[in-house]
Amino acid sequence: MIRLGRLVLTTLIALASFQARAGEDQTARSPKLDPEVQSRIEQVVVAIVRGEENSAGRIEALRQLGGRDRRSLLLQLALYLEHSSGTEQSMAGALIVQHLAFTPEEKLQSVLPHLDGAGPGLRRVFTELLATIDRAEGGEPDYRFYETQILKGKDAPPPALIRYMYEVSPGAALASMERIYGGGPARKDAAARKLGDVQGLLARHDAGAPWSDPDLPRLRSVLESLSKDPGWWRRLYAAAILTRNPDLATAEMTRRLRSDLNTLVRDTVSP
Amino acid sequence: MPRGGVRSRALVHLGCLLSLTLGVGRGDAPLAATPGEVTNLRVTGYDVGTGDISLSYTPACSAANHHIEFGRLQDVRTATYSGQVCAIGTSGAYGSFNPGPGSWFFLVVGDDGIGTEGSYGTSLIGGTPAERPADSLDPACAFTQDLSQRCDGPFTPTLDLSAFRPATGTSGAPFQRWPVGEGEETTPGAGVRMNGDDDDADGQVDRDDGNVAAENDLVEIQLTVDPPTPPPGFEYLLSRTNANIRVWSAATKGSEILAPGNSVTLTFASTTRTLWVENPSGGAADLIFAARATPSGTVVASDLVHFFPLSSVVIALGGESQVPADPPLEPTNHGTFQLAITLYHMGYDVQMYDEDVVSSTGAGQAYNEVVSAIQKRGISHVAIFGYSHGGGSTTDLAQRLNANRATIGSFSIDFTAYIDGIQNDSDFDLDPETALPPSTAYHANYYEHPGCGFLQLCGAPVSGADLNVNVTATPWGGSLTHFTIDDAPQVLQGILDLLVTHVVQ
């Protein structure tokens, strides 16, 4: 079994190397493991798990190794956590992150450039890091910090962040976008009310209520309207809702959103 | 539990007390696999010159040959044999038996001509009529006695009906296939999920559906019988006490075996047959597998399994980066999943998850499973427990369930437990979980708290909990840390005992 395990591991490493070369362009921005930093992180983790007295010294050494480039250190911690294989590594790693007290800016600036290119494991670590910003106390997300960041470059919002926001909560993301792009296509009161109805129905459905016969046409009607809206963030909301609730989609709506001029909208509904 | 067979065996051949010399005639018996008993053994002559003894006897049924077993007369009480005469044929007479000078006892035994022998007759052994012991030395011709299917005895098939724990793996991680223990087949019986969901998503409730591609609510049963084909005058029967259960040919239903009535005659191509039990709409019923005589209907062997609808669901949530599996991926380091497996073996409907399936709002796969169980499978009792971040997720899940009661339907959260619970607002959340899961009827909280200094993880007491155990202050838990508390036998046993006390199956 051990030999077989080594063989499998060797094959996987070889395969990973090949894939890395083949997809060099796509992975050019992927963070790379720094063996020295990884070794230092592991030492701190072991010290924490064993309750060793030198854990304070070890984490201080790690902090100094990060020096002024704390974003790189955070990325190395994310990579370490991506490969963690137990509660010991995961929770001790989280303790390190907490102790090093990264600011929301540091977290966002570290994660954002790599968010869309990350594989599922690393993306999971990244989104959990972002959750410490937008759901510090759990519950529904609070995107106000992101809004201030997006407002700095309103005409070119970072797609990775927008995608993340809609992925976590389409409703909260739409509300943020309405605040940011309020000068854009305006919502009429009636439309806003309809949207409120839709969000209420969606929340009830998420809680466990089945669609009632009158619900479906109402929902589809509002989503149909949103999918044609001039505001990309509203079309993106419709796309996000349809992705979560495929039974609400109509062929026409899906076709329209798949050929949307906005890449975010298009990508969200593409299979 | 097999019934009838063992009792029937004890009744075999009480009437053969005189078989050594006289026996009791049995007449023609139904054909069966192994030889019966030789009867009417008589000495018909003695050659003074040669010492040969002539014998006559009534051959054993189903015997392809016979042999003589003999021993010194003083050993007759212990049935100690010292010699054999092999292959004396099936004519019912033999004229050349010559054990030598002295006093001897002997008897004739039927065999199959190969290696299986039949009955040596019965005798009072220790004051009780019983089969004489077979010759274990076999100095001249080797035979193994087999009385299980003797042609002259009552039909006593080996028969068993067994059930398995419910299928898993559709929502939580799969458990290994596990049989209901023999001692649990009637009390409490085998739990089965009420089949009110729609596993193949075809818009039709599964109980009303013919074939369900992804069906996962039927319970596997196995019928074992030997011989597969009963002798003439007997049949194998499967019956139910009422229509609360239905029996199907496949896990996806296939063809209905037991309908429209409550019993059906079964045939077997081999000794084992697998079928599936459905509970369409709740209610309990017994399933009985029997061998019976026809036309009298006298049952000669039977086995019964009681089926009852499961009324609870248990959610087990591991710690960060613990992947649920059976067997556990780390057998000494995944106590939460060890506990889940134990509960599954005991008959609970357990779903074990990575705690990250529960978001910080409580939404996700575990929530959906509980809601589906309540709304479609008749579940009304919920239990949740978790370790580390799984403890935090326990609260998140309970909060969402409690908040959405009006939408979900009627249920109670009968039991919750934390093992060093840590809030789970994100993977980086390190705050101890101190909230009491809302509406829980009983909450147990095992935590470690050695001071919680620099770079230390700790649980904490939960206000309102029915049980708060700071393991650090116990004689057995002083050295436990956040990373070892979930594997402590005292913690796991404590939660197990409490859950079993507070949660019905």
The tens digit of pLDDT for each residue in B151-209 reads: 777 788 899 999 999 998 888 889 999 999 999 999 999 999 999 999 998 889 999 99
| Partner-chain contact A91 B430, CB within 8 Å | yes
* pLDDT score of A19: 34
Query: Using CB atoms within 10 A of its CB, is residue B356 exposed (0-12), middle (13-18) or buried (19+)?
Result: buried
Structure token digits, residue B329: 């991926």
Residues of B in contact with A95 (CB under 8 A): 430, 455, 457
Report residue B113 CA to chain centroid gap. Answer: 38
* pLDDT score of B233: 82
* pLDDT score of B36: 86
CB proximity A246 to B under 8 Å: no
- What percentage of chain B has pLDDT greater than the value 70? 93
Question: Three-class SS of residue B315?
Answer: strand
| Partner-chain contact A132 B483, CB within 8 Å | no
* pLDDT score of B21: 25
Which residue type occupies A266? R
Query: Using CB atoms within 10 A of its CB, is residue B409 exposed (0-12), middle (13-18) or buried (19+)?
Result: middle
Q: What ipTM does the predicted assembly reach?
A: 0.81
pLDDT tens-digit map of B308-334: 999 999 999 999 999 999 999 988 889
Least CB–CB distance from B371: residue in A86, A204, A208: A208
| Partner-chain contact B319 A91, CB within 8 Å | yes
| Partner-chain contact A125 B423, CB within 8 Å | no
Report field, pTM of the whole predicted structure over 0.80: no
Report residue B291 CA to chain centroid gap. Answer: 19
Decide if B41 contacts B25 (C-beta within 8 A). Answer: no
Query: Using CB atoms within 10 A of its CB, is residue B148 exposed (0-12), middle (13-18) or buried (19+)?
Result: middle
pLDDT tens-digit map of B372-384: 999 999 999 999 9
Q: Please name the residues in contact with B178: beta carbons below 8 A apart, sequence gap of 6 or more.
A: B164, B165, B344, B345
Residue whose C-alpha is closest to residue A164's, from A24, A13, A21, A268: A268
Rounded to 5°, the CA angle B319-B358-B190 comes to: 85
- For the four alpha carbons of B393, B399, B404 and B406, in that order, the dihedral sign comes to positive
Question: Rounded to whole angstroms, how far apart are CA atoms B488 and B389?
Answer: 18
**Is pLDDT at B303 greater than 90 in this prediction?**
yes
* pLDDT score of B6: 28
CB proximity B56 to A under 8 Å: no
Query: Using CB atoms within 10 A of its CB, is residue B40 exposed (0-12), middle (13-18) or buried (19+)?
Result: middle
Question: Three-class SS of residue B372?
Answer: helix
* pLDDT score of B148: 79
Residues of chain A with pLDDT under 50: 1-28, 184-185
Top pLDDT among B109 and B2 is at: B109
| Partner-chain contact A209 B428, CB within 8 Å | no
Least CB–CB distance from B322: residue in A87, A125, A138: A87
| Partner-chain contact A55 B454, CB within 8 Å | yes
Decide if B408 contacts B382 (C-beta within 8 A). Answer: no
* pLDDT score of A25: 36
Q: What is the mean pLDDT of residues B11-35?
A: 34
DSSP string, B42-102: EEEEE-TTT--EEEEEEPPTT-SEEEEEEEEGGGTTTT---EEE----SSSEEEEE---SS
Q: What is the mean pLDDT of residues B76-82?
A: 91
Q: What is the DSSP letter of B200?
A: T
Structure token digits, residue B204: 């039709």
User: Chain A: nearest CA to B362, how far in angstroms?
Assistant: 8
Question: Rounded to whole angstroms, how far apart are CA atoms B422 and B337?
Answer: 18
User: Chain A: nearest CA to B321, how far in angstroms?
Assistant: 5
DSSP E strands in B342-448: the ranges are 350-353, 381-387, 412-419, 443-447
Residue of A87, A90, A202, A216 for testing the chain B interface, max B β-carbons within 10 Å: A87
Q: 3-state DSSP: chain A helix, strand, coil percent, rounded to 5? A: 75, 0, 25
CB proximity A63 to B under 8 Å: no
Report residue B425 CA to chain centroid gap. Answer: 43
Residue of A77, A91, A106 for testing the chain B interface, max B β-carbons within 10 Å: A91
Question: Rounded to whole angstroms, how far apart are CA atoms B310 and B312?
Answer: 6
* pLDDT score of B150: 79
Residue whose C-alpha is closest to residue B347's, from B159, B161, B169, B183: B183
Structure token digits, residue A129: 């890091």
**Is pLDDT at B17 greater than 60 in this prediction?**
no
Question: Rounded to whole angstroms, how far apart are CA atoms B212 and B252?
Answer: 5
pLDDT tens-digit map of B467-483: 999 999 999 999 999 99
Residue whose C-alpha is closest to residue B57's, from B96, B16, B108: B108
- For the four alpha carbons of A151, A157, A160 and A165, in that order, the dihedral sign comes to positive
